Chain A
Amino acid sequence: MNEDKLLKQMVKRDPVRGAAATRRQVLQGIGAGALALGAGGALAGRARAADELTMLTWDGYVDPRVLDGFTDQYDTGIKYELHTSDPDSVNKLRAGETAIWDIINLNNPWAREMMWPEGLIVELDRARFEPYFEAMLPMFHPPYKWAMSLDNEHLLGVCQRVDTFDFVVNTDVISAEMAKDEGWDLFNNPDMAGRYGILAYDNWNIMHICMAAGLHPFKMKSDDEVATFEEAARRLINGAKMVSDDFVAVNLAVINDEIDMYFGGGTYSISAARLDGLTNLYHVVPRSGPADGKGGINWIELSSVVNNPDLHPKAFDWMEYILQPDTSYAVATAGGFLLPVGQMSQPELLAKFTAEELDSFQWDEFDYRISHSVEYDVVPDYNRLYDIYTAARREKS
């Protein structure tokens, strides 16, 4: 039965993160919170381990193959902490933890718009790293916007995992083509109320609700537009049959006909299940939408070197190490998440993937998805929208 596969998937996930935990969730947050409480916020007092490379990261770089490979090649151990969310980790650096961390891996807007201007990260040697960008997929050719400072002078990091994150449908019930045509209006259709779920990654949900409300998520909103957002948020949240921050629970609801689709969703949430044969779970990027005509959102992870006064001597070596084909493959398949990486333009790397693995993250449609998406950015009036969103969640009826 299908449940077996999803259960396996559950087991495969990092046990430290708990059965209910997902990428943007829980235990690290609580742990960090407890630590901060214990220390009264004086986190900077923590001393770094003697000669280990330290890293704040998303799950792509904590796969044993990635970590052990670096230890083998460079004779250096690695200590890492997984994020609760992008801004949370940026806040840590702001609070003085630059003395602790060597590497930080975040989604695209943070390096360029926050960390570099605030002096939290250091630049990379363009001569050393730009050749890697040239060998990547065309969208990354230098100077690549998200890897560069605002003035286009400084290289701030290297890119690897990349994809879109929008919504997921059950193709046994809703055809992929129809979903692409309908786009976000699918969730606005009163007939679909009670037939969809929400994968509760709060910051993504806010962008997706903007899209469904016909608003550009990354532009300032007028009061009228905020009212439109609120109406859409309440309607979409109330219309959801279930909400969960655990994508396994949401996927299970789809394949058991509890729901026919959910937002936010993407290859990140379904690739493992698709690899196990549940190919009726399908990530949809609309053909059109309110964001400059586009309806999809494209995220890019960027690894940067922290402005650590006592920087680990191998920090820049790490940047090169992760771009090697073997490491790239390990990152693309890390921890049971299968995701495209920018290095897949290289035949040597592409050849490492089986056909099933490529299909698990819908590789054949990758260009379509990227071309129909806007790039993930900071939501300008985030706090205001966030309060509306959480109130709607609390008052869900």
Chain B
Amino acid sequence: MVDAAPILRMVSLTKQFGRLVAVNDVTLDIQEGEFFTIVGPSGSGKTTLLRMLGGLEKPTAGDIYLRDERVNQVPANRRPTCMVFQSLALFNHKTVGQNIEFSLKMRGESRRARRERGLSLMNVVQLPEDYYDKSVTKCSGGERQRVALARALASDPDILFFDEPLSAIDYRLRKLLEVELKDLHRTTGKTFVYITHSLEEAMVMSDRIGIMQEGRLIQIGSPNEIYLRPRNKFVSEFMGEVNTLAVQAGADGGIDCPAFERRFTSPARPDGFANGYLVIRPESMRFLNDPSEAENHIEGSLFNEYALGSRVQYHVSAGGSMFVVEKLREQAYRGSLNDDVLIGWDAKDSVLVTD
């Protein structure tokens, strides 16, 4: 995998709309067979980036290479790629079968070959066969997702692009489809490039994740890397609820926290770190009976607790801010609200990030 030449390569890719720089100097390699997800909030430029890769927008600067061939000027219909749109963009005037077979019809394949392939794709995406002649307007949300997926797969593209296709779907179905999509990635072995604003979604499915902020790709890595070592405060907070403490580099390799007027033990300090944030994940926080049980500790009071099924989350008010602690159900804190509590963590479970 590592040795393989990248199937898709972006070099200093930039897109400007008037004075707005939507995509700013993005350089990225995507490997053959990879499930790569670009995550960013709305307006971060991820959709524009995807549209350039699909050939629906032309880059202002920089290059796109598909298997070492520069494809900047190749229109969408000549690229061996296919996109699943956020809106799905199904042809409402056509049946399920006609939608799925669209690309085959455009290629001039025979009616019989089309039907055969269409039905086998419906099987792949788990659509019942008798849906073949059904109008897509009569399909449910999940069924429409499957039609869109089958339609994109029909032309046997080298790369499949996904533009937040699951964003408009309710939670349970989304979870189901996330898993199916990942399974589909395995069974087809194709390269998937997926964009979403939900890191959680990205974590479930992706081999690698790229985080976008204001047109720039600010961190690329495996889900674990991103999770454990966010590069900056934006990334760390983007991953969900975390505890952040504003800190400065201290004298003896420790770090000073002005809010608590205390020195904490420091994890690996980035080069030239002067001030920034100490990030501690909720599940790395522990309740202490005694300060000695952890390298660092804070005194606070239990504000509230929330049951999350297999886990329990606690909000602890300390030093004027709220800390989040998460425990497995069987390790739940036994006490009552407004108890004075001691929470703490070890340096290895914390990360130092800058702005």
Direct A–B contact in complex, judged by CB atoms less than 8 Å apart: no
Q: Which residues of A are at the interface with B, using a C-beta cutoff of 8 A?
A: none
Question: Could you list which residues of chain B lie within 8 angstroms of chain A, going by C-beta atoms?
Answer: none
